[in-house]
A and B are shown apart, each in its own frame.
Chain A
Amino acid sequence: MRLFFFCLLHLVATGASYAQGPKVYAFLPSNIRPHAMQGLISREAPGIDITFFGRYREFEVQLKQSRPDAIVTFRMVGENLAKESKNPLAPLLIGKREGETSEKFILLAVGKKIDLGQIENIGIGVVSLMGRRQMAHFLATEFKVGKIRIKTVTKLEDLLSLLQFQDVDAILVPESQLSYYNERSKLNLVATELDGITLALPVVFKITEDPNKIQQLEKAFQGLEPKIKGLLGVDQWIQP
């Protein structure tokens, strides 16, 4: 009887550990709500235990409190986290879309193009992919100016209201999101292309060194349906 009980306990314990796949934290602001995105990926890739975060701070705090096996986020976010924590993060899979691993940023304004020579004097709305200081520093570096005036929001859709109320002169968005804003708004949105200012696409960064978990992660992300990959902003994952 005792033997049977121990065997049962062992089975339950090992079963539980097999059922629990690699833990993944994801931060990829989009028009889809984090809980919905989490549900979609969990159904598609039951082998991983994924949590989506809607805000950078929430993501950052949770990372400090409980280390996952991997994170999925934009490359710039991962690099910033690695810099702040002084722990390098190794890319496991790099996102690619239409053959590119990055895409152009554009400025969207109402009714006119932005004079890039005056960039220091205009207010720019951005989704906060990192903290305010880091975003301002990133943009000032990219625009090669000393300082830049930004207003931050946490959701894509909130950028539009900054334009509706003229709280900013322009919003900074990846080029692929132009259609999203044009579908939502009847404002005369005019794009200004930015030479060489790009957003690297999402990357799966590994934290675990466990080869089994790494294999599970690769299988799960590579196996996602094209539509779900598209929601993550990629059409394929490539090895670094």
Chain B
Amino acid sequence: MDSTMTPAPRSVRASVFRLLGRNPLRRAALFLILGVVAGLPSMALPKSTLLVLGPDAKGYKQVMQGMSEELEDEFDLIHRKVDRDTPYKNFEAHLLEVQPDLLVLMDNVTISYYRFFQERYRGRIDFPPTIVTMALFVDQSIKGMEKVIGLRYEVPPVISLTHLRSIIADPVNRVGVVYRAEHRNYFEGQKAYCDQEKITLVGYEIGSDGADGTGTVDEKNLSKEIRNGLKYLITNENVDVLLVLNDNKLLREKDVRTVWLPKLRRFRKPVVVGVESLMSIAGFGNFGVLPDHYGLGISVANLAIDIKESQWEMESGHVYNPNSVKKHLEKKFARKYLTVPPDKYNEIDILK
């Protein structure tokens, strides 16, 4: 069901905005004149329109809540449900009807649709500045798109590890990460952030020897590579912590069962994960640092304000990191194998 948080006369406004274009000064001037003519007591500038396209499941609703509470003085927020069951023509219709000043896309489906929309309308209409969030590996998803920035969904390792370090008294100096060659840039970027916090990310790259160097390895070799990677990090590098990236290709059900779990069960040190499902598998993640969806909404709001204050200018292609997380700790594991000062349990969101 479509939900419009702040209803407004779309057709009239769309016509006026089409007439005026996106120039905020022209808009302000017109509204000032209209205000004088109408004898309105207030001369406040009109709010801008922000269209959110995405699913309306629980996590998405929390992002919306954070955004709407933070932006209520600056934007009229309109949410239209778009998910994998929504046909492209509906997505296009929402965009053309609302003609927002700012667009927020949630989920990978909306990104695919918007890429197609841009190809279809390039040179014919002025695309609004767009923020993409709640999508996996947004860095790659938005490449080549016009006036689009991203807010990552994955919790950056530097945030996860700073939290872990502040909770446990055990060392968090050298952290092992298995990643595919396709995510090399992401890994290198995060490694640099961790270096600033004096935490060394020790990587094991999978697929770098592949013919095209894109991390493409066949199924059988992938399992073997993950096994080798974990063995290398745990035995050769003797890392203090393992950090598991949210990469579905590395976390296939069979590999979780036959490769990851046998290695992790003997590790007895922190295993940091970024999704709840990996905390639910006994013997897998014992410290979860998961996105705080409300906080993600606040981060989107901060970006929206920046864009508005920059007269709708932005550096297309830039990808930002989320700030807010929820911390999960597996109590039994922590009590048995980690050193957690008693007061620190009060800083954990979910103790299982």
Q: Residue A1 at the B interface, CB < 8 A? A: no
Q: Which of B73, B196, B198, B309 contacts A164 (CB 8 A)?
A: B196
| In the complex, chain A residues 129-154 whose Cβ is within 8 Å of any chain B Cβ | 131-133, 149, 151-154
Of all chain B residues, the one with the shortest Cβ separation from A61 is B69
Q: Which of B193, B323, B346 contacts A162 (CB 8 A)?
A: B323
Q: Min CB distance, B259 to chain A, in Å?
A: 32
- Known interface pairs A152-B298, A164-B162. Does A187 touch B346 (Cβ–Cβ under 8 Å)? no
- Whole-angstrom CA separation of A230 from B222 in the bound complex: 53
Are B69 and A57 closer than 8 Å at their CB atoms? yes
* Chain B neighbourhood of A152, CB < 8 A: 70, 298, 301-302
Are B323 and A33 closer than 8 Å at their CB atoms? no
Segment with Cβ contacts to B, from A18-26, A95-103, A178-186: A178-186
Q: Residue B312 at the A interface, CB < 8 A? A: no
Q: Is the interface of A mostly helix, strand, loop or mixed?
A: mixed
Are A184 and B162 closer than 8 Å at their CB atoms? yes
Are A153 and B349 closer than 8 Å at their CB atoms? no
Q: Min CB distance, B225 to chain A, in Å?
A: 31
* Chain A neighbourhood of B305, CB < 8 A: 132
Q: Min CB distance, B243 to chain A, in Å?
A: 16
Classify chain B's interface size.
20 to 34
Q: Min CB distance, B202 to chain A, in Å?
A: 18
Are B347 and A33 closer than 8 Å at their CB atoms? yes
Are A154 and B295 closer than 8 Å at their CB atoms? yes
- Whole-angstrom CA separation of A183 from B341 in the bound complex: 14
Q: Residue B197 at the A interface, CB < 8 A? A: yes
Of all chain B residues, the one with the shortest Cβ separation from A180 is B166
Q: Residue A7 at the B interface, CB < 8 A? A: no
Of all chain B residues, the one with the shortest Cβ separation from A188 is B196
Are B197 and A55 closer than 8 Å at their CB atoms? no
Q: Residue A11 at the B interface, CB < 8 A? A: no
| In the complex, chain A residues 26-79 whose Cβ is within 8 Å of any chain B Cβ | 31-33, 36-37, 40, 55, 57
Are B73 and A160 closer than 8 Å at their CB atoms? no
Are A158 and B324 closer than 8 Å at their CB atoms? yes
Q: Residue A157 at the B interface, CB < 8 A? A: yes
Q: Min CB distance, A196 to chain B, in Å?
A: 27
* Chain A neighbourhood of B302, CB < 8 A: 151-152, 167
Q: Residue A104 at the B interface, CB < 8 A? A: no
Of all chain A residues, the one with the shortest Cβ separation from B302 is A151
Of all chain B residues, the one with the shortest Cβ separation from A231 is B346
Q: Residue B33 at the A interface, CB < 8 A? A: no
Are B197 and A154 closer than 8 Å at their CB atoms? no
Are B196 and A187 closer than 8 Å at their CB atoms? yes
Q: Mark B170-192, 1 if CB is under 8 A from A, else 0.
A: 00000000000000000000000
* Chain B neighbourhood of A40, CB < 8 A: 346
Q: Which of B159, B198, B295, B321 contacts A153 (CB 8 A)?
A: B295
Q: Residue A176 at the B interface, CB < 8 A? A: no
Number of interface residues of A (CB under 8 A): 31
Are B295 and A185 closer than 8 Å at their CB atoms? no
Are B294 and A165 closer than 8 Å at their CB atoms? no
Q: Residue B250 at the A interface, CB < 8 A? A: no
- Known interface pairs A152-B302, A164-B159. Does A158 touch B295 (Cβ–Cβ under 8 Å)? yes
Are A154 and B346 closer than 8 Å at their CB atoms? no
Are A184 and B166 closer than 8 Å at their CB atoms? yes
Q: Residue B30 at the A interface, CB < 8 A? A: no
Q: Which of A128, A183, A185 contacts B197 (CB 8 A)?
A: A185
Of all chain B residues, the one with the shortest Cβ separation from A32 is B346
* Chain A neighbourhood of B156, CB < 8 A: 161, 165
* Chain B neighbourhood of A184, CB < 8 A: 162, 165-166
Are B309 and A149 closer than 8 Å at their CB atoms? yes
Q: Min CB distance, B154 to chain A, in Å?
A: 13
Q: Mark B56-100, 1 if CB is under 8 A from A, else 0.
A: 000000000000011111000000000000000000000000000
- Known interface pairs A55-B294, A152-B302, A164-B162. Does A132 touch B73 (Cβ–Cβ under 8 Å)? yes
Q: Residue A213 at the B interface, CB < 8 A? A: no
* Chain A neighbourhood of B301, CB < 8 A: 132, 152
Q: Residue B227 at the A interface, CB < 8 A? A: no
* Chain A neighbourhood of B333, CB < 8 A: none
Are B349 and A33 closer than 8 Å at their CB atoms? yes
- Whole-angstrom CA separation of A115 from B23 in the bound complex: 33
* Chain B neighbourhood of A151, CB < 8 A: 302
| In the complex, chain B residues 312-334 whose Cβ is within 8 Å of any chain A Cβ | 320-324
* Chain B neighbourhood of A161, CB < 8 A: 156, 158-159, 162, 321-324
Q: Using a CB–CB distance below 8 Å, which chain B residues touch chain A? A: 69-73, 156, 158-159, 162-163, 165-166, 193, 196-198, 294-295, 298, 301-302, 305, 309, 320-324, 345-349
A-B residue pairs in contact (CB < 8 Å), sample of 22 = A33-B346, A33-B347, A36-B345, A128-B298, A131-B69, A132-B70, A133-B73, A152-B70, A152-B302, A153-B295, A153-B298, A153-B323, A153-B324, A155-B295, A158-B295, A161-B322, A164-B159, A164-B196, A165-B321, A184-B165, A184-B166, A186-B198
* Apart from the given pairs A162-B323, A165-B156, A167-B323, 13 other A-B contacts in the complex at a CB distance below 8 Å: A55-B294, A128-B298, A131-B69, A152-B301, A152-B302, A153-B298, A155-B324, A161-B158, A161-B321, A167-B302, A185-B162, A186-B198, A187-B196
